Amino acid sequence: MTRSNLSSADQQRLDGLYARLLALRPRNVGYPTNQDFDFSELFRFLEFSINNVGDPFHSTNYRLNTMEFEREVLEDFARLTRAPEGEWWGYVTGGGTEGNMYGLYVARELFPEGICYFSEDTHYSVAKVLRLQHTRNIMIKSQADGQMDYDDLRETLRIHRDVPPILFANIGTTMKGAVDDLAKIRAILDDLAIANAHIHADAALSGMILPFVEEPQPWCFADGADSISISGHKMLGAPIPCGVVLARKTHVDRIARSIEYIGALDTTIAGSRSAFSPLMLWHRLRTLGEEGLRAMVRGCLERAEIAVRLLRACGIDAWRHENSVTVIFPRPPKPVMEKWIIAPRKDIGHLIVMPHVTMAMIEEFAADFAAAMQP
């Protein structure tokens, strides 16, 4: 590798950063980012200023792009989310927040006076998005396990049944991995005779788990979703935050605008979009294949169940949801928090068993947790 003209001090800073990240990687067990990937085959494409500007399904004046690969990625995700054939649209985003913003943007354009309903276990970014879009919203109570409180949802919808609802469903909550049941939400809408509604599903992590399990919870387009956001850097794994958003095409067509400067339709949130992210997602989907993805998910779920048993054997009250790689337990003592990268919230913490989280890491974590609890 050719060295740059950096000063010795600056080069030492970069080397120090690399060493620090290398040391931290095996301690990252609390955040859903897969560290197990190799994109060295794609490094040569960093020589180009590639840019996927505009709608991935239309041509653009800027031809240094990877839209052909982006479309193939979207087709794979459409199949995994059981999107209606020929009736969906999507693009590769900069991550889950942009995907959620897009789903809520489409919903608000459909129902400008609509009210968005989301549970108290929803990711913090959603309230921020709703403020930015000036969308009316009401927070719904959560059950103890992190799922939306369906009784509270029903009663709140009943009170406001004259206003079209925008339902924000968590397909794997941030802290507890809980999945809001789309079938129950749709049943409530039907029972209240609410015909005009939009359901957005935030499937940041679980969107790449549920397609590969035997009995998934109702979560996808076939179960009533109108738009879905899935992260690419989480279960699949990537060094750059990225994701995919999909929506019913009839809804998207209402917000499309033609822009002469780029020679393309403006249907996305961002103008310039990463053309490298679609390559990474395409590479992961092609190198793993469906059987590889299924095996990867199965391995994570099996290790998550072992982690629950190991922690319980140490006297730690651990549990997880069905089809979830998120293991929840009481907030760990300070020594554990200092050694391991853990995401706490109030009185709980969690371990997320991603593909890079090995049995050796789980055993070491459980031993450290147990030792820290001793008087």
The catalytic residues are: 324
Phi, psi of 14 (to 5 degrees): -65, -45
The answer to whether residues 145 and 183 touch, using CB atoms and an 8 Å cutoff, is no
Question: What Cα–Cα distance (Å) separates residue 90 from each residue in 100, 130, 133, 144, 269?
Answer: 12, 21, 20, 34, 11
Cβ-based neighbours of 270, under 8 Å, separated by 6 or more: 93, 94, 98
The answer to whether residues 149 and 140 touch, using CB atoms and an 8 Å cutoff, is yes
Closest by Cα among 324, 341, 250 to 26: 341
Residue 218 CB neighbour total at 10 angstroms: 19
Question: What Cα–Cα distance (Å) separates residue 245 from each residue in 207, 228, 230, 251, 268?
Answer: 11, 6, 6, 13, 10
Token pair of 154 as six digits: 């029903």
Three-point CA angle 46, 48, 54, nearest 5°: 105
Phi, psi of 33 (to 5 degrees): -125, 115
Q: How far apart are the first and last CA of the chain?
A: 51
Using CA atoms, how far apart are residues 368 and 336, in angstroms rounded to an integer? 6
- Going across the sheet that includes 227-231, the strands are 88-93, 243-248, 227-231, 198-202, 165-170, 115-119, 136-140
At residue 256, the 3 state secondary structure works out as coil
Using CA atoms, how far apart are residues 256 and 268, in angstroms rounded to an integer? 9
Buried b (16+ CB within 10 A) or exposed e, 241-275: bbbbbbbbeebbeeeeeeeeebebbbbbbeeebbb
